[in-house]
Amino acid sequence: MVSFFERLRYVKLVRKIVYVIIGSLSYPGLAMMNRIKISGTEHLRNLPRKNVLFVSNHQTYFMDVIAFLHIFCAVKWRKTNKLGVPYYLLNPFTNVYFVSAEDTMRKNFMSRLMALAGSLTVKRTWVEDDKAVRKGLNLSDTKKILKALSRSWVITFPQGTTTPFAPGRKGTAFLIKQSHCVVVPIVIDGFNKAFHKKNLKLMRKGVLLTVNFKAPLAVNYENSLDSILNQLMDAIEQSDAYKAKTV
């Protein structure tokens, strides 16, 4: 049964208020104390209003997603590859949800506030250091995400961990095969240097934060899960080929 708290995240007015709070708290760290370089927002202009899946590498629990929400709001206000003055928070873009671990979103006030911004909580089948044995898909979680895709945009992190070059999870490829969604890769960097991994705390100033939206992938939905997953991991620059380049 869905709790009253969980129902609130689907109320547009509640989410708008949460966006204003989180957006105001996070903007200085993103755009004033650090420098954010955004590219590829032209790929967002003509996307459909639903069935779009954003896949990204993952560096912090919250600031990655928060940066994306800022950018989506800015694009709604016709800004290109920049945030500028955050007046876009007066009428934010809220037609987007993000996948997150259930246990993470219950830890403290900030995580619960983030949950109200549009979290699709799933049961964690891995641990942060990626040593746990990965289990099969949770069907209820899969249905939850597919339902969200049917009416909006969804952000997910195929690796499910902030550990760089960790293997991706086939669950993301399964969602793509089931939904035939538009898949937009995102590559980020600098967030793990500037911010605390588990909250909004600023760790360093003057860091260059980069967010690159790539063109939607040409996905063959008839391909195997492994093939689709390999395509995703290469697109978000977390494949073995990219790992080899960093050595």
Q: What was the pLDDT predicted at 8?
A: 72
Sign of the dihedral defined by the CA atoms of residues 66, 149, 223, 171, in that order: positive
Q: CB neighbours (10 Å) of residue 100?
A: 24
Mean pLDDT of the chain: 90
Helix (H, G, I), strand (E, B) or coil at 152: coil
Element (H, E) at 213: strand 208-213
Phi, psi dihedral angles at 153 (to 5 degrees):
-90, 155
- The lowest-confidence range among 50-54, 57-61, 123-127, 175-179 is 123-127
Mean pLDDT of 45-69: 96
How far is it, in rounded angstroms, from Cα 226 to Cα 229? Answer: 5
How far is it, in rounded angstroms, from Cα 234 to Cα 165? Answer: 10
Q: What was the pLDDT predicted at 4?
A: 59
Cβ(149)–Cβ(50) under 8 Å?
yes
Q: What was the pLDDT predicted at 139?
A: 81
Cβ(235)–Cβ(217) under 8 Å?
yes
Sign of the dihedral defined by the CA atoms of residues 198, 189, 118, 226, in that order: negative
How confident is the model over 84-119, as pLDDT tens digits? 999 999 999 999 999 998 877 777 788 888 888 999
How far is it, in rounded angstroms, from Cα 213 to Cα 236? Answer: 10
Q: b/e for 143-168, b at 16 or more Cβ within 10 A?
A: ebbbebbeebbbbbbbbbbbebbbbb
pTM: predicted TM-score of the whole model, two decimal places = 0.92
Reported confidence tier of residue 6, pLDDT bands at 50, 70, 90: low
Q: Which residues contact 139 (CB under 8 A, 6 or more apart)?
A: none
Q: What was the pLDDT predicted at 213?
A: 98
CATH of span 4-246:
3.40.1130.10
How confident is the model over 156-199, as pLDDT tens digits? 999 999 999 999 999 999 999 999 999 999 999 999 999 999 88
Domain ranges of the chain: 4-246
How confident is the model over 195-240, as pLDDT tens digits? 999 888 999 999 999 999 999 999 999 999 999 999 999 999 999 9
How far is it, in rounded angstroms, from Cα 38 to Cα 31? Answer: 11
Q: CB neighbours (10 Å) of residue 71?
A: 25
How confident is the model over 31-40, as pLDDT tens digits? 999 999 999 9
Phi, psi dihedral angles at 184 (to 5 degrees):
-115, 115
Helices (H), 106-239: 109-116, 139-149, 170-179, 191-194, 225-235
Q: Tokens 């037609």 correspond to what residue?
A: 95
